[in-house]
Every structure is written in C-alpha cells, then in structure tokens.
Amino acid sequence: MPTGQRIAALRMQAGLTQEQLAQRLFVTRATVSKWERELGQPDYPMIERIAAVLSVPPDAILSRQDAVLGELLRALADADSDDLLADLNAFLSTLNSRDRSVFVRRYYYLEDHGTIAQRYGITESNVRTVLMRTRRKFKKYLKEMSV
C-alpha cells in the first residue's frame, strides 16, 4: 500500500480528521492532504512524528530503508543506467573521501543525519548539504554516462 494511503488509513483508525492530525504535527491541513494523495511525501523525521501522533511504529507507515533510499530514488527519478552498480562505484570514485563517506553512511548503513554528523564532527546541516549536492552530482553523472 502506498505511503499516503497508509497515513490515511492509520489516521482514520485513530479517529482523527486531516485537520486534527495537521494541528498535532504543526503543519497545514493541505499538507496532510497532499501526503495522503501521494502529491508529496514527508521525510523520515516527519514520518516518525506522524507515527508518534498515531501511536504506531514508524515502520507501519514506511520502512527506514524505503524512506532513506526513497530520497535517493526521487533525486534520480528521470535518470537511468544499464549497469547501476558499476556506475555507482565509478561515480563514488570521483568523489572526495568526505562526500563519499557521508554518502555511504547514509545510503548503505541507513544512518540518520545526526548520527553521521556526530561521527564526523560536523553539523547536521553539513550532512544534508553534502547529501543534496552528491545526489545532484550522481544524477548528472548518470545522465552524462547515458549520452
């Protein structure tokens, strides 16, 4: 079942309206509506907050692996590769050790931003920035390889 439908089902099971769930999450009703209609997806910290409000484990909404890899998959949405494994390792070889290590901790070990930041003595903001730039570089790399 898609994530949005799961949120909707669990919300109704908890006897909450979209408005009530939105209020408890400090977001607008329109945001909840977007999630439920699959027009947008909450990130994992938000999924954990939704799960807490609905009194269910986060995995009942989305598994951690699907959530983390989902952010990479969305970034690569219109890119393609005949041999993704080879392309991924070739791309990683082009990165410096810092960016490559952050990427590996996030997508191989599925660690959250805070944990990575703590391990490497940097801020969570640094981690998010490195990941965002690396995802964009990877997409660009795949596009160039496919030409």
Partner 1 sequence: MTMQNLQIAISGIAQEYLSESGDFGAVAADFRREKTRKRQRAVSVLCLAAVCAGVIGAGIIRQPGAVMRASAPDSEPAFTAETEAAADLTEPVPSLYDAADVLPFEEWMLSRAIGVVEGEVTESGRSGLGGIGIPMYFYKLRVERVLCGDLTVGEEVTVKAALHSETFECVKPGRRYVVPLVSNEGENRDYGTTRGGYRAVYPFEPMIERVSGGYIVPRGWDSLITDGCTDVTGDPAYHYKDYVGRMYCVPDEIFEVRMQQLIEEYIG
Binding site for partner 1 (CB under 8 A): 26-28, 30-31, 34-35, 40, 42-43, 45-46, 65-66, 69-77, 79-81, 84-85, 87-89, 92, 96-98, 100-102, 104-105, 107-109, 119-126, 128-129, 132, 135
Q: Which is nearer to partner 1, 58 or 70 (CB)?
A: 70
Q: Which is nearer to partner 1, 16 or 76 (CB)?
A: 76
CB of 19 to partner 1, least distance (A): 15
CB of 20 to partner 1, least distance (A): 17
Q: Which is nearer to partner 1, 87 or 141 (CB)?
A: 87
Token pair, residue 108, equals 């191989």
Q: Which is nearer to partner 1, 15 or 26 (CB)?
A: 26
Q: Which is nearer to partner 1, 16 or 126 (CB)?
A: 126
Crossing angle of helices 64-75 and 97-107, in 10° steps, is 130
Report phi then psi at 94, rounded to 5.
-85, -15
CB of 37 to partner 1, least distance (A): 13
CB of 128 to partner 1, least distance (A): 5
